[in-house]
Amino acid sequence: MSAGADAIDAGVGRARPTFSVGTVLALVVLGAGLFLAVLWMLGNGVGLNNDRDNIAHGRAVGLNGYAGLARMAQAAGHPLRYTHDTPAARQPGLLIITPQQWVDGADIQKLIDAHCSYGPTLLIVPKWWAVPASIKRPGAQKGWVQLGEAQSPEWHDFQDAITLSIVKRTDPVARWVVPEGAPALTTRLPHPEAMQISDAFDEKDRPVLRPLVTAADGAVLAARPMDMPCLPEGLAVTANAHTPFPQTFVFEPDLMNNMALSTPQGAAMAEALVNAAMGRVPASTPITFDMSLAGQKRTPSLLTLAVTPPYLAATLALVLAALAAGWRAFCRFGPPLAPLRAIALGKSALVANAAALIRRAGRLHLLPGPYADGVRGRLIAALGLPQHADPAQSEAAIDRALHARAPDLPPFSATSAALRTARKPTDILRHAQTLHAIERTLTR
């Protein structure tokens, strides 16, 4: 009776788990691994590097790109890096800047100043407007570009004394300006009809550039500033100020792009410009290509922000909370609870529900008499006694039969009388169990 009542009161049971612990653990581990992989991809820019566009940068493989220059430098033993923001430029080594035509000159100067005390800088000035080549064109491949108009950029707040112009020349030869007695180095420009040259003079009409490469008529194609090209961050202009690394300007991009490296003379000229830009730094110094001014600037990723103070504290708190939630989920006691049927099936459930109903209604004291009468009736039938005899005579006959079979058990009549007068649940249950034992003994 108590067990049935507990079941009715609870109204719930244990359901069979849908997934095993091993399956859930595998799903959690796989999900966490995929989440970390996504964070790693965001932090490292996986899938964001486009070397097949029409913009000239260190990864571009088109005619106007510099992927060939990067591969040549890597083949020469220089560690290669790519940066996508200004703080990343504060690394030792040569920084090659390939800005687009529409960038702000102040951003170029800011990037040069950030790298000024870490290593030399090589700035390749853009010239070509290019569009992706149509793949419908016979023989065209993905990544090819079609060169359009040549136009010099107008960068304000950056080397305002330098003027650029696009000129037409019939002589395509470019010469390396070397000290007397050194071997001459020449190459042929692929597009002399659109040659980008530079003129630079101060207020007193004095040149401010030291030429490195010139055209056949002496026009400057690559040079170095004669004065201090930049000021290291945090230093004042004094006589004892730290001397920054040199800076090199390449005004004609056809000296160093993929189109220029298609010939041995062009590759030799590009290598000479890189060596000259590096100056006195070791030959194995790293070379970094800036991608931020080439249209591929990136803001700090979620992974970078998550491990940077003050967000690091929040990240650690979330990780600990996730571990605690996972541990609590796996240490849960037993399978999940499921509701039981309102009316259970089977005879045992029917008896249990009836007992619980009687107990809850407070009518337990009404059971002793009917239960004693029921046991007496079943014994009369089992022993073959007269059905309509007096109850006292029937109980006396039952006592005689019980004494003959089990003299250690109390008489049936005494136990039946005690059950009828009992009022406490414990007394009723004790006498009812005794009557049940007597019935089993006589009907066995």
Which pLDDT tens digit goes with each residue over 26-70?
Answer: 888 888 888 877 766 766 655 555 555 678 888 888 888 899 999
pLDDT tens for residues 28-40?
888 888 887 776 6
Q: How, if at all, do strands 94-97 and 337-339 pair?
A: unpaired
pLDDT of residue 268: 92
Per the structure block, which two tokens stand in for 52?
Answer: 């097949």
Phi, psi of 289, rounded to the nearest 5 degrees: -100, 125
Instruction: Give the type of residue at 313.
Output: A
Q: How, if at all, do strands 195-200 and 162-167 pair?
A: antiparallel
Burial category of 224 from C-beta neighbours within 10 Å (exposed 0-12, middle 13-18, buried 19 and up) = middle
How far apart are alpha carbons 77 and 285 in whole angstroms?
A: 9
**Is the Cα torsion angle 109, 113, 115, 117 positive or negative in sign?**
positive
pTM for the whole structure? 0.59
How far apart are alpha carbons 334 and 409 in whole angstroms?
A: 45
Output the CA–CA distances (angstroms, integers) from residue 71 to 68, 76, 369, 413, in the order listed: 5, 9, 105, 111
How far apart are alpha carbons 410 and 426 in whole angstroms?
A: 18
Instruction: Give the type of residue at 31.
Output: G
pLDDT of residue 248: 92
Q: How, if at all, do strands 173-176 and 186-188 pair?
A: antiparallel
pLDDT tens for residues 136-148?
667 666 667 788 8
Q: At what angle do helices 425-443 and 412-421 cross, to 10 degrees?
A: 150
Structural domain spans, the chain: 18-48+298-333, 49-134+142-234+242-297, 363-443
How far apart are alpha carbons 271 and 278 in whole angstroms?
A: 11
CA 420 to chain centre: 77
How far apart are alpha carbons 259 and 267 in whole angstroms?
A: 10
What percent of the chain has pLDDT above 90?
21
How far apart are alpha carbons 426 and 431 in whole angstroms?
A: 9
How far apart are alpha carbons 434 and 444 in whole angstroms?
A: 15
Per the structure block, which two tokens stand in for 60?
Answer: 């571009």
How far apart are alpha carbons 442 and 384 in whole angstroms?
A: 12
pLDDT of residue 327: 81
Output the CA–CA distances (angstroms, integers) from residue 296 to 15, 39, 60, 132, 252, in the order listed: 55, 19, 12, 17, 23
| Residues written for the chain | 444
pLDDT of residue 182: 53
Query: Low-confidence residues of the chain, pLDDT below 50?
Result: 1-12, 181, 234-242
